[in-house]
A = this chain, B = another copy of it.
Amino acid sequence: MMDLMVFGALLVGVMAAGISGMLFQPGNWYTALRKPSWTPPPIAFPIAWTVLYLLMCVAGARVAGKSGADVALAFMAGQLAVNVLWTPVFFGLHRIRIGMGVIILLWLMVLGTLVLHWRIDWLAGLMLVPYLVWLTYAAALNLMIIRLNPFVVPIDPGQLRVGESGR
Contact residues of A with B, CB < 8 Å? 2, 5-6, 9-14, 16-17, 19-20, 23-30, 32-33, 60, 63-65, 69-71, 73-85, 88-89, 91-95, 98, 102, 105, 109, 112, 149, 151-167
Contacts and interface: CB of A to CB of B under 8 A. Distances in A.
Contacts of A164: 153
A24 B155 contact: no
Contacts of A166: 155-157, 159-160, 166
A76 B11 CA distance: 12
Which 10 pairs of residues, A with B, have the shortest CB-CB distance? A27-B158, A88-B88, A77-B77, A13-B81, A9-B74, A155-B166, A12-B78, A13-B78, A6-B74, A16-B81
A79 B10 CA distance: 9
A41 B81 CA distance: 27
Nearest to A162: B32
